[in-house]
A and B are shown apart, each in its own frame.
Chain A
């Protein structure tokens, strides 16, 4: 039906005629633009008329109580969940609602899940090698040789995630925190434009949290980062723009100080802790 409707509209180019592999265009505004997005599961509104924009290179924290819709938000951006209404654009050229998961991933949206999954039987270096953005067909993978360019790229990322001394170690013996960093590193190997990070510091020690904060702030600027986190101290240490979600919509937006002084926010969320 939508195709017929499209074809009836004579003032525009049909979607299927548009080039598929155009680069992400952020010249005219934000890298991520969500407007009026709603999604409901069996009548429960997980996301309710949500509006969110994210600038290129920005580091944004999203906080909110359980059930506020944080994970659903991530699912919508990565194409795992289709919203009932609204629009989601990546740059000004890509309508994410018309794309599937692998296409969105290859567009440069990387997602880190809560629980770290790294390849435990392989070394840290090999984990990063496998994650590198390249032709992943059978034959190219079979004949691919390690060369200076690939090595430099992997070493760059190793340094970023602070695991350069452990590059030869099997990933299975890494600590929980180190596995999280390795997984962030694996995402970085794919040179993402936008990184979605789900509760990166759950289960980390104080020092590990500090290092993670450093890592994430270091990434911002080169790529846009969205961090979903429960831990208030950690979000404060990132000291960036914060979006507070509540019952599927944005409750407040601003710096950590601004939102933590917002009476609405104090009522629904911070009140429990502070």
Chain B
């Protein structure tokens, strides 16, 4: 089966194994080690790590289209944010009458805007199953329409990057507007509970952290299964010689569309996990700069490896948290410097360094034998 195939592969086993180990370790250090002990992981740290894990899933989604399909999307933040908004709408509806205005049906911002009923597109978001389906469908549908138009017209390369950037920018402007009904500038916030669990308790935070870890593991697995299938080889082939693949009889634009939609859905899931952990979703997630930052994570970690994207996302975001805490002004310079240094000295990213070392080792072993 194509779906179970990755489990036979060493690198996937190592990745999934270490992810599982990390989840267990963090859970253990959080629950079993008493507070005040240097090894204790506070709820704050667990929450932060959960956020990083959802970013890592987003990076995997970007690597799938950029690394293996050669499509540099500078607008993946849009799919991430759409998934986040779907989740945010669910969480808003869960607030019920506990909002500032105490209106049982309308979220606070709608009361504030003097709306008297829910807009039609908010209907159904009080039901978890519907909202969670929308987490996949909203980004997936946008990617389907956008990708269909773009790939059918054979828009690729830098032009595609530019229009993805324009897409996310346009969505940002749209979501800023109050009339859109998504909370405008302030976005959606003041969440209370998810699936009946209070979002402010440590246990829920730990649960969301574990859920993010599991989602990352499953997403990685799914992407790996696609890449290792014959379809994955078609992707790599069309990345390097698109016309030749067409000549072999493959409908390249459909392959691109399929993978693009899959990637957008994964990004949506990442956004949906991100929102309850940070407690807010607003139009700034649509900002082009965020989408570019995602690409930097992937480039740093190493393209077309998947695990490189995870390493890159974790490392850059840890550094970001650290730097913005210690010297906030230096962060953007540090990010820029990091990007330049990696591009010049490590063109294949951190993952390239790892596989280079492995290759060297096997070569010396072979030479010794």
Contact = CB atoms under 8 A, between A and B. Distances in A.
Interface of A: 102, 105-106, 117-122, 126, 129-131, 133, 136-138, 141-145, 186, 190
B241 A141 contact: no
Contacts of B244: 117-119
Interface stretch (B25-33, B144-152, B232-240): B232-240
B231 interface: yes
Given A136-B249, A138-B255, A186-B248, 9 more contacts: A119-B237, A119-B240, A120-B241, A121-B236, A121-B237, A121-B239, A130-B233, A130-B248, A144-B2
Interface of B: 1-2, 226, 229-231, 233-234, 236-237, 239-241, 243-245, 247-251, 254-255, 258
B250 A121 contact: no
B255 A122 contact: no
26 contacts: A105-B247, A106-B249, A117-B244, A118-B244, A119-B241, A119-B244, A120-B240, A121-B236, A121-B239, A121-B240, A122-B236, A129-B233, A130-B233, A130-B237, A136-B248, A136-B249, A137-B251, A138-B255, A141-B230, A141-B255, A142-B2, A142-B230, A142-B231, A144-B229, A186-B248, A190-B248
Contacts of A119: 233, 236-237, 240-241, 244-245
Nearest to B259: A138
Q: Of B2, B229, B230, B243, which is in contact with the most chain A CB atoms at under 10 Å from its CB?
A: B230
A121 B258 CA distance: 21
A122 B228 CA distance: 12
Contact of A105 (B234, B236, B237, B249): B249
A136 B233 contact: no
A132 B249 CA distance: 10
Contacts of B226: 142
A122 B239 CA distance: 11
Contacts, number: 68
B237 A122 contact: yes
A240 to B, nearest CB: 27
B234 A130 contact: yes
B237 A141 contact: no
Nearest to B232: A142
Nearest to A189: B248
Contact of A136 (B2, B236, B239, B250): B250
Contacts of A190: 248
Nearest to A172: B240
A261 B166 CA distance: 67
A129 B240 contact: no
Kindly name the residue among A105, A129, A137, A141 whose own CB sees the greatest number of chain B CB atoms within 10 A.
A141
Interface centre among B226, B240, B241, B254 (most CB of A within 10 A): B240
Contacts of B2: 142-145
A138 B248 contact: no
A138 B230 contact: no
A102 B244 CA distance: 13
Nearest to B236: A121
Contacts of A137: 251, 254
A141 B238 CA distance: 14
Contact of B229 (A121, A131, A133, A142): A142
Contact of A130 (B1, B230, B251, B254): B230
Contacts of B245: 119, 130
Nearest to B243: A117
Nearest to A186: B248
Contact of B251 (A105, A117, A136): A136
B244 to A, nearest CB: 5
The 10 closest A-B pairs by CB, nearest first: A119-B237, A142-B231, A141-B231, A117-B244, A136-B249, A136-B250, A144-B230, A138-B258, A141-B230, A142-B229
B362 to A, nearest CB: 15
Contacts of A136: 248-251
A137 B234 CA distance: 11
Contacts of B236: 119, 121-122
Contact of B231 (A102, A122, A138): A138
B114 to A, nearest CB: 49
Contacts of A120: 240-241
Contact of B248 (A122, A131, A142, A145): A131
A126 B237 CA distance: 10
Contacts of B239: 121
B251 to A, nearest CB: 7
B241 A143 contact: no
A143 B1 CA distance: 7
B240 A141 contact: no
A137 B250 CA distance: 7
Contacts of B231: 138, 141-142
A129 B229 CA distance: 12
A144 to B, nearest CB: 5
A137 B244 CA distance: 16
B289 to A, nearest CB: 31
A122 B236 CA distance: 8
Given A106-B249, A117-B244, A130-B248, A138 B233 contact: no
A131 B249 CA distance: 9
B151 to A, nearest CB: 13
Contacts of A145: 1-2
B233 A122 contact: yes
A121 B69 CA distance: 12
Contacts of A144: 2, 229-230
Nearest to A106: B249
Contacts of B243: 117
B22 to A, nearest CB: 30
B343 to A, nearest CB: 20
Contacts of A122: 233, 236-237
